[in-house]
Amino acid sequence: MSLNRSEQLVCDYVEANPEERTFWYDKVTATAKEEADEHEAAARLTEALWTYYEERAAVVEPFKSLAAREGLGRTSMRNLAEYWMRLWVAPQPKKKKKPMGRF
């Protein structure tokens, strides 16, 4: 999976800061439990990640300098959300279809 520059920055920052990693691990796992549909969970996490990026861009390097250089135009965080879900959330077993009776 390929992450865009903004996603990679968030990922690297979170990995380098244990408190942030714990926060995001808890957020990802809780969101996955709350949402029955994994696509909806990823969508919610995408929104949360973008909000986080905007907050960090106001106060923390290297987010500040990237935002100053490139602006805060909305960038997708979907790949990062899906990556963390695959990394931290146990896959849900697929329901098996019941075989149709014989005629």
Q: How far apart are CA 98 and CA 103, in angstroms?
A: 15
Residue 101 belongs to a domain: no
Report the pLDDT value the prediction gives residue 71, as an integer from 0 to 100: 86
Q: Which alpha helices (DSSP H) does the chain contain, by range?
A: 5-16, 18-34, 38-59, 63-70, 78-88
Of the two residues 95 and 12, the one the predictor is more confident about is 12
pLDDT over 60 (residue 103): no
How many structural domains is the chain composed of? 1
| Host domain of residue 30 | 5-88
Of 47, 71, 75, nearest in space to 57 by CA: 71
Q: How would residue 40 be classed by pLDDT, with cut points 50, 70 and 90?
A: very high
Residue 50 belongs to a domain: yes
What six digits make up the tokens of 89? 């959330």
pLDDT over 60 (residue 63): yes
| pLDDT, mean of residues 39-63 | 96
pTM across the whole model: 0.84
- Cβ(47)–Cβ(97) below 8 Å: no
